[in-house]
Amino acid sequence: MQRNSNGKKRELTLSAFLERHLHLNDKIIKFNGFELYKNNQRSQDFFKNYIEKRDNELLPFQIKRYTDEKQTYIMNQNSQDFIVVEYIEEGIFLNEIAQNKISFQTFQTIFQNLVLSVFELHKRGILARCISSNNIYYERLEDKIYLFEFGFSPNCRCNQLYQPNYDITLIIEIMKDLYNKGKDIGTEFLEFKNKIYNLEMLLNQMNIIESYFKLYQLIKGSPSQEELQKVYTKEWVSDMRKKIQLFDFPDPIPIQINDSEQTDGEQRTYLELQELAIKLFKKQYPNEHTQLGYMYVFLYILYEQTNFKVYQNQVQKYEEKIKKINEERSSIEKSYDDISDTDRSIIFPSQIDKDPIRQKEIKMQCKAITYQTYKKLFEDKMQKFVTQQSIKEFTLEEARICLLLIASLNTFRSMDIEAIYKSNGIQDKVNKINEIIKQCVK
């Protein structure tokens, strides 16, 4: 008799990592695997080497596929959406490590492995970008780490443009978290912590190449000076910046909408998503002048931070878009009396709009205004729908607008969007939109 049961499960960005138990007669066979999120192209791309069984192209810090053909019961667990990988005894995510459980030797080993893993990525022209204690798996018996996610747009807490040396900041944040779990914190721990903190303080004073040379000085057996000079060149920095500008803000989000705004399952960028949000909202609520003004301001910031000016063939498109957006902002600011003086000063185009600090403040204000708009237009109506089951109280079009308002602010995971649009009933849509809203205001 054979049956399956699930053990531990960790939801990641593109997949879920889980432990499964195969009950075979009197035996229980444990194995690990990645459960890929369905209909997610980014998930398929990220796990391509696993799917196509190109084991030699997996990086040293990636967990290997399970390949023992003799164990047919385990091999048969593989499917289009599930990849069986080697079972790791005593495996744990870094953020699961309990307080007072990290020795200095383990702390130092994890740091060493993490830095060298990032170097492997950089040699291949890939930035770590989304590594964290949540997606790094630690094999305690072998003192080895596995990076389960890397290389795609981060949900980092930074509010500036992602720079090629922000990978150092991610490493430092991971090590800070582990430091707080150290046991018997003595001189060695404190000295090492000070070295990491000093590097963090100096990051803004060093150029990108210099900052990486400083990082590798902190580990034993670091890459040689020649190896570092070969990887960290001006060309590498330039290439990484272009990749960031190309992929960070125009990050593809799978959306399937089967109604008047046909998209045929195409992938939209954040810029396109914001433009769609404005188009729908303006049509349905033309008198919400403050909200519309802020939506155009946010669109302006997206275009500024995407920095199309780097690509010569897109300069004209960039300039035309910026001009049109600022015309809309000026028109809204001049035409309506129901906008407060504070909001008016933000909506009207200004020379200091390009300032990163101002952009950070405005993005926070955009989020606040959008939530206020949501509460005013939708919250009561959605509550009535949930309690009275009246479809007239909340239309699909309103659900779409409500969703796009939040989605355009990039405070969600793409899988949440897909789940909403693939739901069968509108109540499910309403409930899930509410879940996203709750996450936005935590």
pLDDT score at 390: 54
Cβ atoms within 10 Å of 416's Cβ, excluding its own: 18
Q: Quick one: 157 and 290 in the same domain?
A: no
> What's residue 302's pLDDT?
81
pLDDT at residue 160, rounded to an integer = 44
Q: Are residues 77 and 179 in the same domain?
A: no
- Number of independent structural domains in the chain: 3
pLDDT of residue 289: 93
Looking at residue 263, its pLDDT comes to 38
> Do 134 and 259 share a domain, yes or no?
no
Residue from 291, 387, 290, 373 nearest 336 by CA: 290
Alpha-carbon distance values, 109 to 6, 113, 114, 168 (Å): 31, 6, 8, 17
Asked if 8 and 131 sit in the same domain, the reply is no
The pTM assigned to this predicted structure is: 0.58
Tokens matching residue 147: 């990076």
The verdict on 306 and 430 lying in the same domain is yes
Answer yes or no: do 195 and 239 share one domain. Answer: yes
Whether 236 and 340 map to the same domain: the answer is: no
State whether 369 and 272 are in the same domain.
yes
Indicate whether 187 and 297 sit together in one domain.
no
| Residue 148 backbone dihedrals phi, psi, to 5 degrees | -85, -20
Statement to judge: residues 361 and 277 lie in one domain: yes
Range of the domain at 355: 254-440
Q: Which residues of 311-335 are buried (b: 16+ CB within 10 A; e: fewer)?
A: eeeeeeebeebbeebbebbeebbee
Per-residue model confidence as pLDDT tens for the chain (442 residues): 445 566 788 999 889 999 888 777 777 788 899 999 876 667 888 899 999 999 999 999 999 999 988 888 889 889 888 999 999 988 999 998 877 678 888 999 999 999 999 999 999 999 998 899 999 999 998 999 999 999 875 444 443 456 888 899 999 999 988 887 766 667 888 888 889 989 998 988 899 999 999 999 999 888 999 999 999 999 999 888 877 765 543 333 333 333 334 333 344 566 777 787 888 888 888 999 999 999 999 888 888 776 554 445 566 777 888 899 999 999 999 999 899 998 999 999 988 888 877 887 888 888 788 878 877 877 666 666 556 655 555 566 666 676 666 555 554 444 444 444 445 555 565 566 566 555 544 4
**Predicted pLDDT at 4:** 58
| Domain end point (choices 59, 87, 115) | 87
Residue ending a domain, among 31, 64, 87, is 87
pLDDT value for 248: 43
Residues 154 and 162: beta-carbon distance below 8 Å = yes
What is the residue-wise DSSP string for 249-296? TT--EE----SSS--TTPEEPHHHHHHHHHHHHHHH-TT-HHHHHHHH
User: Residue 6: in which H helix or E strand, if any?
Assistant: strand 2-11
Looking at the fold, whether 233 and 352 belong to one and the same domain comes out as no
